[in-house]
């Protein structure tokens, strides 16, 4: 089997930047004091990553496309039935079960980032959309923000355990391909990483984040106490 390019550079960069920024979000919210502003900035960055990935899931290279790794229930069940077979079929892209785990992870991060926009730290800092909503909505958003992260942690633990399980039990080493992009496979590789397209998509994503965070939110009336 030949080694072929499967994960383009933008998808790999997205993956490791997501790992880095989620770790940063945890540290700035739970472990450090007086860094809420950095938690906000990192949150906007994470929101940008998710928007990038959504567009890249439509306009990216083959294996990054949602249409390539979203399978129907029958394929998922058939694959799930072979999960504990050592010699189950290897997939160049995400397998039918893993594809849905990817969708779940992306959705949870999206809920986390969007709910953050409505949050307040009750001291100095309000998220950009705090002023747009009633207290009841703030409550819902806080509830989501405080609890969805715990679900995300469980799914991430499962994700990492699955990578370990594939490496040890099935002798399918998936992690190196998320670093160098290449896999030995009979399926077709991708011709290139489409870096120019990725730069354009990254700029569009940054523009959308800027609009959502800086331009669209309602003006906040400053309150002064003398
Ligand atoms: C905060 C922790 C992590 C998060 C949130 C995360 C999230 C994700 C996401 C969203 C994807 C889908 C990539 C895409 O198509 O865009 C993915 C795939 C992948 N991740 Fe992670 N990941 C994390 C940690 C790790 C770690 C530590 C490893 C390495 C041991 C790893 C290895 C992989 C691999 C190998 C794939 C491709 C799976 C496949 O072959 O189908 N991830 N991850
Ligand atoms: C995906 C991105 C994000 C992640 C993973 C994340 C994660 C977290 C976590 C784990 C907490 C602690 C919750 C707890 O105490 O149980 C937290 C709190 C908080 N986050 Fe985020 N967050 C994200 C985005 C944002 C954004 C975009 C904003 C605002 C613009 C924001 C604002 C806040 C605030 C105000 C708190 C409460 C801090 C306090 O208790 O005083 N977050 N976040």
State in Å: Cα 25 to ligand 2 middle: 7
Residue nearest to atom 11 of ligand 1 (CA): 102
Mean of the per-residue pLDDT values of the chain: 95
Taking the C-alpha atoms of residue 136 and residue 212, their distance in angstroms, rounded to an integer, is 22
For residue 20 and ligand 2, the question of a CB distance below 6 A is answered with no
Angle at 175 between CA 55 and CA 5, to 5 degrees: 60
The model carries a pTM of: 0.93
Confidence of residue 1 (pLDDT cuts 50, 70, 90): confident
- Say if ligand 2 is within 6 A of residue 25 CB: yes
Strand positions, DSSP E, 132-200: 182-184
Look at residue 223 in the predicted model and tell me its pLDDT. Answer: 61
Give whole-number Cα distances, 77 to 92, 156, 163, 166, 180, in Å: 19, 22, 20, 18, 30
Q: For the chain, which residues make up each domain, given as ranges? A: 3-215
Look at the chain and count its residues.
226
Q: What is the pLDDT of residues 80-97, one digit of tens each?
A: 999 999 988 889 999 999
pLDDT of residue 226: 56
How many whole angstroms from 72 Cα to the centroid of ligand 1? Answer: 21
For residue range 103-137, list pLDDT tens digits in order: 999 999 999 999 999 999 888 899 999 999 999 99
CA separation for the pair 154, 68 (Å, rounded): 26
CATH number listed for the domain at residues 3-215: 1.20.950.20
Pick from 9, 15, 20 the residue to mutate for probing ligand 1's pocket: most ligand atoms within 8 Å of its CB.
15
Query: For residues 174 and 40, what is the distance between their CA atoms, to the nearest angstrom?
Result: 33
| Cβ of 116 less than 6 Å from ligand 2 | yes
- Which residues approach ligand 1 with their CB closer than 6 A? 11, 14-15, 18-19, 22, 53, 64, 94, 98, 102, 105-106, 156, 159-160, 163, 174-175, 178
Q: Between vectors from CA 15 to CA 9 and to CA 19, what angle results, nearest 5°?
A: 145
Q: Which ligand is nearest to the CA of 46?
A: 2
Which residue has the CA at smallest separation from atom 36 of ligand 2? Answer: 121
């Amino acid at each position: 089997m030949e080694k072929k390019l499967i994960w383009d550079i933008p998808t790999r960069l997205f993956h490791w930047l997501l790992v880095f920024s989620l770790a940063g979000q945890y540290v700035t919210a739970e472990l450090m004091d007086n860094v809420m502003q950095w938690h906000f900035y990192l949150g906007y960055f994470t929101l940008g990553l998710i928007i990038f990935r959504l567009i890249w899931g439509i306009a990216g290279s083959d294996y990054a496309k949602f249409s390539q790794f979203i399978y129907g229930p029958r394929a998922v069940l058939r694959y799930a039935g072979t999960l504990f077979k050592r010699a189950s079929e290897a997939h160049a892209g995400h397998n039918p079960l893993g594809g849905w785990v990817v969708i779940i992870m992306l959705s949870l991060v999206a809920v986390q980032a969007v709910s953050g926009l409505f949050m307040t730290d009750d001291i100095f800092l309000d998220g950009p959309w705090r002023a747009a909503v009633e207290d009841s909505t703030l409550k819902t958003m806080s509830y989501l923000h405080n609890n969805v992260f715990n679900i995300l942690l469980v799914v991430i633990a499962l994700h990492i355990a699955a990578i370990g399980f594939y490496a040890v039990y099935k002798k399918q080493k998936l992690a190196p391909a998320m670093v160098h992009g290449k896999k030995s496979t009979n399926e077709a590789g991708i011709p290139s990483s489409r870096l120019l397209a990725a730069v354009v998509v990254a700029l569009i994503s940054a523009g959308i984040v800027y609009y959502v965070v800086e331009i669209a939110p309602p003006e906040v009336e400053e309150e002064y106490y003398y």
